[in-house]
Amino acid sequence: MDCPSELLSDLAAYVELLAKWNKKINLTALPVSPLSDDAVDRLIVEPVLAARRVEAGDSLVIDVGSGGGSPAIPFLLAAPQIRLVMVEVKVRKCAFLREALRQLALDRGSVENCRLEELLARPELHESADIVTVRAVRPDKKLFNAMQAFLRPGGRLFMFGAESSARPELSPPFESGHIEVLLPSIGSQLVVLNKNTRLF
């Protein structure tokens, strides 16, 4: 994977901070101190590759269940044109996410300490996102409904997973979707669902 030196430096700083905080609170089960190849692939390479799917007109990304900051922070670092809202329910994880944004001087990112459904009370966020990202969560109907509510018509849901993950059944307002392989060697993939562009 080819990356500009500045991006590599920022990604390394994020991993260093993640490893430091992971000793105090459980941010990831992947080995980050010392850093394993699997952790690099899952935490860094996958989101950087997925960020290449960002389109020219995309500007806002909402990440659901941000936890230790991946895919959100590497995705933000690799896509300099986007703004990012990270949604996380656990206070201590939010403290880490805010510190990571501060240390990396990422003023394009923000953290919301709440459940995704609670953001529905903010009408300015309705149909505002170009992309919603989620990892390690098997969305139920309630979560699917919440995620689609934040996507603009034509927006995309990015779900990070493994090859064994089943393709979700399409139902309105998701009109089409496909699976993109990110790292064939470890069976990682990105499920992309497209929100209907028609009005109901």
CA dihedral 82, 85, 91, 97 (to 10 degrees): 0
Cis peptide before 184 (omega within 30 of 0): no
Mean pLDDT, rounded, for 123-127: 94
Average pLDDT of the chain is 90
Q: What is the pLDDT at residue 168? A: 63
Q: What is the pLDDT at residue 100? A: 98
Q: What is the CB-side half-sphere exposure of residue 70 using CA atoms within 13 A?
A: 24
Instruction: Please state, in angstroms and rounded to a whole number, the distance separating the CA atoms of residues 94 and 112.
Output: 8
Q: Phi and psi at residue 173, in whole multiples of 5°?
A: -95, 15
Of 69-78, 112-121, 132-141, the least confident: 132-141
Fold of 5-195: Rossmann fold (3.40.50)
Residue 167 has pLDDT above 70, yes or no: no
Instruction: Please state, in angstroms and rounded to a whole number, the distance separating the CA atoms of residues 58 and 113.
Output: 24
Q: What is the pLDDT at residue 200? A: 47
Length of the chain: 200
Structure tokens that stand for 155 in this block: 């927006």
Mean pLDDT, rounded, for 129-157: 90
Please give the share of the chain, as a percent, with pLDDT higher than 90: 72
Boundaries of every domain in the chain: 5-195
Computed on alpha carbons and rounded to an integer, the radius of gyration of the chain in Å comes to: 16
How many CB atoms lie under 10 A from the CB of residue 124?
5
Is the pTM higher than 0.85? The answer reads yes
Q: What is the pLDDT at residue 141? A: 82
Residue 131 has pLDDT above 50, yes or no: yes
Q: Between helices 5-22 and 91-103, what is the axis angle to 10°?
A: 150
The residue written with tokens 């996102």 in the block is: 129
Q: Contact 191/179 with Cβ under 8 angstroms?
A: yes
Residue 31 has pLDDT above 50, yes or no: yes
Residue 171 has pLDDT above 80, yes or no: no
Structure tokens that stand for 92 in this block: 């201590």
How many CB atoms lie under 10 A from the CB of residue 184?
9
pLDDT category, 176, cuts 50, 70, 90? Answer: confident
